Amino acid sequence: MSSPFIAILGTGAHSPAKVLTNHDLARLVDTTDEWIVTRTGIRERHIAGKNETTSQMAAAAARAALADAGVSAEQVDLIILATLTPDQPMPATACLVQHLLGVPARAACFDLNAACSGFLYALDTAWAMLGSGRYKHALVIGAEKMSSLVDWTDRSTCVLFGDGAGAAVLGPARGTAQILGARLYAEGAHAHLLCVPRGPKPVIQMKGREIFKNAVREMEDATREILEQHGLTAAQISCVIPHQANLRIIESLGQYLGLPPERFVVNLDRHGNTSAASIPLALDEARRSGRVRAGDTTLLVAFGAGLTYGSALVRW
C-alpha cells in the first residue's frame, strides 16, 4: 500500500573528527593500504572518541536534518533510530536523542535493529506511521559506533568499519517530492554469516565471501522487484545510493543492473562501512553536492546482518 503524500524534507550527517587511515591500520594488524583499497575501496574511516556516543552522533545528524528541512524539534512527534550499537541496552537510544534535541514528550521514540539495512527499515516504518495520519514529522536516523564492536586484532574485519550518523526528516510532501515505495526482506537462515555472538567482549564475526555473494544477489533482487512494482526501468533511476560496504559489491551490482558506475553514490573510501548510518550519510552528501535534483528518482538499496535487505524509491 502506498502513502503518497510523505516526503523526505531534509537530511543531515555527522562524522567524528578522528580519522583512521589504512596506513594507521597497517601499524595495528598485518595488512596494507594496497590490500584494503584493492579488495574494498576503503581508504579511511572516522572513529568516535572514547566518550563520543551513538546518541551524540545521532543528535548532531538530526539537528542538521531539521535545519535543512526547516522543521523545529517541537514539531517532531516520532523518532526512529536505526542502530546495532545503542549507548546501552536500555533505555532506547532514541529517547536519549529526544532529550538532546528537546523533542516534546508527546513524541514516540524507539530504536530499531536491522543492522546495515536499518535505515531502510526505519524509513519504511516511519513512512507507514506518517501515512496513517497519526504522526506528522518523523526523524529517521541511522547512527553507529561500530568501532565498539570491532575486534582490533582481526584484520579481515577491523579494516572495514567506521563510525558516524545520518538522518532524514520525513513529513507532509511539499510540491512533487515524495517517497514512492519501499520493500524490506530478511533471511534468518543466514544469520550466522554475520553476527556478534554473546561473550565477555562481544565482537563482529563474519564470513566475508558468503556475505559478498548474498549481498550482490539480494540487492539486485530488491532493486528489480521495486522497479517492477513501480513500472520503472533501471535507466530511469538518476542516482543509486547503495549501502557502502565494499566498492566491488557496488560495481557488481551495477554490472548486473546494466548501470554505469557514475550512477552510484560512493563515499566508502572516506567512511568505510558505517552500517545503519551508511545510506543516510551518502544520501546527505549526494543532496549537498547537487547529485540529487528536484524531479529525480533515487533508489536506496541495502543489505546487512540478518540477513536483512531492502530497497526504497524516493522522488525529489
Catalytic residue IDs = 116, 243, 273
Residue 7 or residue 122: which is nearer to ligand UT7 going by CB?
122
Q: Which of 113, 246, 252, 311 binds ligand UT7 (CB under 6 A)?
A: 246
Cβ(10)–Cβ(286) under 8 Å? no
Of 43, 100, 186, 208, the one binding ligand UT7 (CB under 6 A) is 208
* CB nearer to ligand UT7: pick between 170 and 305: 305
Residue number with CB closer to ligand UT7 (137 or 243): 243
Cβ count near 91 (within 10 Å)? 14
Instruction: Check residue 241 for interaction with ligand UT7 (CB under 6 A).
Output: no
Under the binding rule (CB under 6 A), the answer on residue 279 touching ligand UT7 is: no
Does position 185 interact with ligand UT7 (CB under 6 A)? The reply is no
Is residue 144 a contact partner of residue 14, using CB atoms and an 8 Å limit? no
| Residue 116 near ligand UT7 by CB under 6 A | yes
Q: Are strands 194-195 and 205-206 parallel, antiparallel or unpaired?
A: antiparallel
DSSP annotation of 200 reads S
Q: By CB under 6 A, is residue 143 in contact with ligand UT7? A: no
Name the packing angle between helices 208-229 and 247-257 (round to 10°). Answer: 40
Binding mask 48-77 for ligand UT7 (x = CB under 6 A): ------------------------------
| Among residues 55, 267, 273, 298, the one that binds ligand UT7 under rule CB under 6 A | 273
Q: Of 2, 39, 180, 185, which one interacts with ligand UT7 (CB under 6 A)? A: 39
Please give the grid coordinates belonging to residue 227. 522497479
Binding piece for ligand UT7, criterion CB under 6 A, among 64-72, 86-94, 204-212, 223-231: 204-212
CA distance 26 to 293: 40
Which of 27, 198, 201, 209 lies at the binding interface for ligand UT7 (CB under 6 A)? 209
User: Taking CB under 6 A as the rule, does residue 85 contact ligand UT7?
Assistant: no
φ and ψ of 227, to 5 deg: -65, -45
Q: How far apart are CA 76 and CA 136, in angstroms?
A: 7
d(CA 180, CA 6): 9
113 is an interface residue for ligand UT7 by CB under 6 A: no
The closest residue (CB) to ligand UT7 is 208
The rounded distance, in Å, linking the Cα atoms of 316 and 295 is: 5
Helices 54-69 and 278-288 cross at an angle (nearest 10°) of: 30
Q: Is 250 in the site for ligand UT7 (CB under 6 A)?
A: no
Interface residue with ligand UT7 among 168, 182, 241, 245 (CB under 6 A) is: 245
User: Of residues 149-168, which lie at the interface with ligand UT7 (CB under 6 A)?
Assistant: 155-156, 159
CB of residue 27 to ligand UT7, shortest distance in Å: 13
Residue 151, CA distances (Å) to 138, 148, 274 in order:
35, 9, 15
Q: Which residues contact 158 (CB under 8 A, 6 or more apart)?
A: 25, 28, 29, 150, 151, 152
DSSP states along 211-235? HHHHHHHHHHHHHHHHHHHTT--GG
Beta carbon of residue 286, minimum distance to ligand UT7 (angstroms, whole number): 19
At 275, the amino acid letter reads S
Q: Contacting ligand UT7 (CB under 6 A), which of 2, 21, 187, 212?
A: 212
CB of 33 to ligand UT7, least distance (A): 10
Give me the residues that bind ligand UT7 (CB under 6 A), please. Answer: 31, 35-36, 39-40, 116, 155-156, 159, 194, 206, 208-209, 211-212, 215, 245-246, 273, 304
